[in-house]
Structure 1
Amino acid sequence: MPLKEKLPTEIGSLIREGKAEEAKKLILAYLQDSSPPLRERLEIEIERLNRLGYEYPFSSDEAFRALRKDIWDLREEEFHELLKRGCIDFIILEGSLRIHRRFKANTYWLCGDLKQRKRAKNDERSDAGELVLKWRAERVLKAAKEKGGGFVLPLKYHVKASISLRNPAHQYGEVVRVWIPLPRDETTNISVRILDASKKPKYIAPPDHPQRTVYFELEGEEREVWIEYTFVSRGFHVEIDPKEAYIDTESEVYREYTSERPPHIAFTEPLRKLAEEITRGASTPYEKVKRIWEWVTGNVRYTYAKDYLLYDNIPEYVASEKRGDCGMQALLFITLCRLAGIPARWESGWYMNPLSPGMHDWAQFYLEPYGWLYADPSFGNKRKGGEWRHQFYLGSIEGYRLASNIEVYTQFDPPKKHLRSDPVDSQRGEVETTGKNLYYNEWDFSLEILSVEGLESKF
């Protein structure tokens, strides 16, 4: 992968010093004589530098004023102390301190003592969503035990997904190419049916594509495309007997899902050592999985992330800094499992709790004779509260899931020509013109749950 290619020393030095404009000029000079894969790495580096302004939009004064709206007695001296403590995410860019666009939420997660001073502390919608989630998980456990394990309590979702350009298509060129994620029709989701769309899709990727999408083209005055579809999502639980669970090292699943997939599923020396340390002395494959689960959910704090393109190796970052969002925690879990000889893979899309849906990533691991099992490290994190979460989300899933992806760094069908806004994952879609990728600041995505119906009983 291009990110494995080492940057020229002088370019790397300028980037570390926050001299983005100088670095871009030097990269352009190098591009005239470089050949692949260095050229690809340099082109990615320019895109990374261009995204820094979007990721770090606030000056120190602007961030202080924003935080003081929540904490009325916050003093400037205290704000600077929070910076020193690592409570506030920042970089030095062109000689100025710039602060991350989602720094406030991260500050409360990283330095929990501030939470008690917030003006607004209650989130009734979030509390209700948590109650619904627990109720659903309890129902899944009960139904699965009565059935003897497996998929249970199917829910039929009717959703509308849309992408809206900030300007009419003709202002970007002749054709604007748009990909909207669509659920994969396999295991987690089944019975995917397209009901309607604002215009006829140019192409629909196969049901089992690792990052499934619907492809459209916009022209002229067009600026929005939408699609309505239904799908079925199911809860899952099975009782695992550690003595029965085993790994078939001759299987295709083992060969594919215990291998590296750099840059973010890479068997680096620090991660090798961590996997060995965590699993040393484990007598069964399931004990290895449990130890990895305990380490990730016990040590890693949830925080919002930068653009994934800005990380060289996400699992290494999470293991070192003990922080990361749902996808970053999932990538660490997957990488450690693979290092320990446990097949594991990515799964992502949306968490579809009717009261609080949102983009989400999780993982799966494979044990014979049970097949693919679920692992959601961020939902099962010990800091989330409730032991039920920690127990349930290793092996089970509640069924509030829209799963479009089972792989990272996968090309779409039809393929995208330019570097993606999110090269790792696919949750809100992608947009490009003939000449360039269109980043998130040039379009908007929405996913609306129109209805949810229990197929065995009404929700």
Structure 2
Amino acid sequence: MLIISMIFFFCSDIYAQTKYDEINILINSGEYSKAAKKIDYLVTTAGLSGEEIYSLQFQKDKMERIKKDFRLTEEYIIKAISKYYPSLSKEELKQWEEDGSLEMKIIDGEKKYFNNAAPNLFRVNKEAKQRKIEVDGSAEDKLKTFLADHIPQSVELSLKSGSNLSNPKRIKINYTLSVDSGVVPKGEIIRVWLPYPRNEYERQSDIKLLNVNCENYLISPDAYFHKSLYVEKPAEGDKPTEFEFSLEYTCSSQWFNLNENKVRPYDETSKLYKEFTSERAPHIVFSEKIKKLSEEILGGETNPYNKVKKIAIWINDNIPWASAREYSTLENISDYCVSNMHGDCGIKSLLFITLARCSGVPAKWQSGWMMHPPVINLHDWAEVYFEGYGWVPVDADFGIQNSEDEKVKYFYTNGIDSYRLIVNDDISRDFYPAKIYPRSETVDFQRGEVEWKGGNLYFDKWDYHMDVEYPD
């Protein structure tokens, strides 16, 4: 029998600063051990409510998550980049730290670098990127090569058929989540939410579940923004506990042969317009920084599609891709992107959504996986609403394509390719059935979520893997 506990907490609580100034100061100054001790003292002596304890405990948990993301020493970083900078000076290192090229934190008095700080240096710093090319030469981008064929083909097929859907691909996946041995006592029930394809999109169709390795399972209703397959089973104890399913589905390219002059004015009194042009703290906030940037990008532009194109071009030209910290450790993702001028697909997408909404264009989140044969990975993108066209996909991370054909060049400002797995239609929403403990990923949902009666199981306690086939 499935264990379903309908205990709800609100995601916004876990991002809020505490109401205790002393704890806030300790956290913000990197004094994590002292902050954790202060939290423990309050939890045990202050007679707090369950909600207050939950919030404080998550602040403590978040500090541990940050420590997991920032483990590297200066010695390690210097050695990791020595091939390209064999005589690196302290001044150069300090400059990279100050301008954000090398992400680091002082934690409990020790300088610690982000786990992917070294490779990120050669992604976000133009001089370092060029130095790496001079030493290693230019590497082939297999995904770009693949898309250089796929995108023109999809555009051509759509133009010939007159449909915004084309180029369907049959995709088979086998997904496995494996909880490490010894993490949960043998026999105790492990609860797992696995990513599952959404039903309500034309471009994602004919979903056929082939196998689940648990006798009982639940597929979340379409009303839930995070689509999941819920399973549970007793822990194996001294060996990994595996949760597995397989399915097939069809994914089509969707590209709108959009004429900006046919985009009608918005009904600004409509529920849709109000909802999807609104702020949604903590990650979609119209700060003065965002407002000013939006004005600079748009330069007085009033056409909705041209606004979207200008925002996408700006992100393409100014925000390089870089490996990201866990989203649960970031207070405001769109602000983080503007402040650091780099980000992964989700960080770029949240900046795009924030700028679009701030400029009066309805925009929302979408995410799941990119399923391209050369590269299979977690991925996030967006959708915008145009009167006369409806919801239109936009991928600010895939960005502007290197093509003289305008339709191909700006494909991802009004379309998306045939190799996607759509799982989520918003950020930070409820699960079905409800999760009891704080989520490992508080914004997105692509890898899975795991817990047992003893608490949440963070990403370092389990692994995930997806095998992909293309039956056609």
> C-alpha displacement at 1:394, in angstroms?
0.4
For 1:384-399, what aligned pairs fall within 5 Å after superposition?
Answer: 391-399=410-418
- The aligned residue for residue 313 of structure 1 is 332
Aligned residues of 2:169 and 2:470 also touching (Cα < 8 A): no
Is 1:341–2:360 an aligned residue pair? Answer: yes
Alignment equivalent of 1:420, drawn from 431, 435, 439: 439
1:138 and 2:152 matched: yes
Q: How does 1:103-118 map to 2 (within 5 A)?
A: 103-115=117-129, 116-117=131-132
**Which of the residues 21, 40, 56 maps onto 1:9?**
21
Amino acid at match of 1:131: T
How far has the Cα of 1:396 moved from its partner? 1.1
Q: Does the 8 Å CA contact 2:17/2:24 hold for their aligned counterparts?
A: no
- How far off is 1:224 after superposition? 0.7
Cα drift, residue 38 of structure 1:
4.9
Counterpart position of 1:457: none
* Closer, same or farther: CA 149–285 of 1 in aligned 2, 3 Å: same
Equivalence for 2:207: 192
Q: Distance in 2 between matches of 1:79 and 1:316?
A: 25
CA 1:99–1:170 in structure 2 vs 1: closer, same or farther (change >3 Å)?
closer
- Cα distance in 2 for residues equivalent to 1:148 and 1:397: 16
- C-alpha distance 328-36 of structure 1, shift in aligned 2 (>3 A): farther
Note closer, same or farther for the CA distance 1:385–1:23 as it changes in structure 2 (3 Å cut): farther
CA contact (8 A) 1:264 1:315 kept: yes
Cα root mean square deviation, aligned: 2.4
Q: Within the alignment, does 1:234 sit opposite 2:252 as a pair?
A: yes
Provide the secondary structure at the position in 1 that maps to 2:71. Answer: coil
Which whole-Å CA distance do the structure 2 matches of 1:35 and 1:168 have between them?
33
3-state SS of the aligned residue for 1:315?
helix
Q: Which residue of 1 aligns with 2:230?
A: 215
Is there any run of 5+ residues in structure 1 with no aligned partner, and where?
Answer: 454-459
Corresponding residue of 2:282 = 263
Question: Are 1:325 and 2:325 matched, yes or no?
Answer: no
Q: TM-score, normalised on structure 1?
A: 0.90
Aligned to 1:71: 84
Aligned to 1:456: none
Given that 1:144 and 1:237 are in contact with CA atoms closer than 8 Å, whether structure 2 keeps it comes out as: yes
* Cα contact 1:303–1:324 (8 A) shared by 2: yes
Aligned residue in 2 for 1:225: 243
Determine helix, strand or coil for the equivalent of 1:306: coil
Unaligned runs of 5+ in 2: 1-11
More displaced 10-residue stretch of structure 1: 46-55 or 160-169: 160-169
- The answer to whether the aligner puts 1:441 opposite 2:437 as a matched pair is no
> How big is each residue's C-alpha offset from its partner over 1:255-294, in whole Å with a ceiling of 9 and x where there is no partner?
3322332211233343234334444522322232233223
CA contact (8 A) 2:18 2:56 kept: no
Aligned match of 2:165: 151
Paired residues of 2:186 and 2:235 also in contact (CA < 8 A): no
Deviation at 1:358, TM superposition (A): 0.9
Q: 2:217 aligns with which of 187, 190, 202?
A: 202
1:117 Cα offset (Å): 3.9
**Contact 2:370–2:379 at 8 Å: present in 1 too?**
yes
Deviates more, 1:348-357 or 1:10-19: 10-19
Q: State which drifts further: 149-158 or 384-393.
A: 384-393
Aligned-partner Cα distance in 2 for 1:303–1:14: 29
The answer to whether the 8 A contact 1:172-1:433 is kept is no
Alpha-carbon distance in structure 2 between the residues aligned to 1:167 and 1:446? 17
Distance in 1 (alpha carbons) for counterparts of 2:34 and 2:374: 47
Whole-angstrom distance in 1 between the partners of 2:148 and 2:374 = 13
Contact 1:148/1:238, CA 8 A, preserved across alignment = no
